[in-house]
Amino acid sequence: MLRVGLTGGIGSGKSTVAGRLAEHGAYLIDADKIAREVVEPGTEGLAEVRAAFGDEVISDGALDRAKLAGRVFSDQSARDTLNGIVHPRIRARTAELMAAAPADAVVVHDVPLLVEAHLGPVYHLVLVVDAPEDVRVHRVVRYRGMDEADARARVRAQAGEADRRAAADVWLDNSGSPDEVLAAVDALWADRLVRYESNVRLGRRAHYGGPRLVESDPAWPAQARRLRERIALAGGERVRRVDHTGSTSVGGLAAKDVIDLQVTVGSIGDADALAEPLASAGFPRVEGIDRDNPKDHAPDPALWQKRLHSAADPGRPANVHVRVEGTPGWRYALLFPDWLRANPAELAAYEELKRSLSARYRDDEDSDRYTDGKEPWFDDAAVRAGEWAERTGWQPSYAD
């Protein structure tokens, strides 16, 4: 099962996207629909709302949503009261629907306030539908009959573009014609969602091709943060920290478009215990790789144990290295990016090596040769990085 969170501000056209995904076969869970169900006539939810807000929010035995909205829109205390009544019921009903989904479903959870509620980490992927404010206001006025000032106030009361972009694994621009966004949804379904679901269900990592270098992408840190949050939630108490490591964590450094993350655990037993939670979160274990290459300062291979996971998402390559806190491999993964950032000449030399090897090994089957070609440089660099760490008093910190 693949869990997809779908969100977008009022007037963004989120319902258009949800409808298209449902046409493709997505199992749609509509948070707004559930919110209406839990306060339908005769429900305990409606009785509690009536007790809290009075008969004035009831019309012909049903909830008068416009009057209730008028009460709570600008009153935080009233909103908190309402949320305390409906949110537990919405969560319970959502859990029932999730449990009823087929094992091979692409579950699309349509949640208007996903960003505001910080729900992103519970999904494999977050889709955000957006359009400029004026376009959204125009739609709300035209299709919902809302006053323009009220419509603009509703738009501005929701999460801003920066927060939505930070939460979005996929950004769907719906500022153009309906056909344009529907075509984007069709491509997303075929190229990513269907493949991602089957990879998660089968415990299979995505295939990303050979060692192709790209220029540094300023979006990498935000992408890594979203993955880190999902991993931390999936791993629970066994996960001590999750760091963005490797070349994509070093600004300005050309790299393969693969996010490297390090998960810190207390023991190799904890690393093994994370196999199923990480796989369910979209990061299946890579069998056959259980250690890093030892360096001269710590030659015992047993000190370099780890577990490797790789992303099942065909649209966001990532490797997850699970290492025990305090081991040489754990320390070096944190040290290396800091050392490169602090030493421009070393960074330039490393990039030159990467470009040279990437030009030599271009095919899919060349990935191992590309990696092996860096090892002699890494062996020497480990010595220089260790000397720098001792000289500067370096201590591990979050790489991003």
Q: Annotated binding residue at 16?
A: yes
In the chain, the domains with their CATH numbers are 2-202 (3.40.50.300), 213-392 (3.30.460.10)
Q: Quick one: pLDDT at residue 142?
A: 87
Low-confidence ranges of the chain (pLDDT < 50): 399
Task: Tell me the residue type at 331.
Answer: R
Q: Annotated binding residue at 14?
A: yes
* Measured torsion, CA atoms of residues 278, 280, 284, 290, in degrees rounded to the nearest 10: 40
Q: Annotated binding residue at 70?
A: no
Task: Tell me the residue type at 352.
Answer: E
Both tokens of 129, joined, read 């539908």
DSSP letter for each residue of 165-189: HHH-SEEEE-SS-HHHHHHHHHHHI
Q: Annotated binding residue at 209?
A: no
Q: Quick one: pLDDT at residue 366?
A: 65
Q: Quick one: pLDDT at residue 399?
A: 46
Q: Are 355 and 213 in contact (CB under 8 A)?
A: yes
Q: Annotated binding residue at 74?
A: no
d(CA 234, CA 200): 14
d(CA 310, CA 315): 13
d(CA 107, CA 3): 5
Q: Annotated binding residue at 7?
A: no
| Phi, psi dihedrals of residue 48, rounded to the nearest 5° | -70, -40
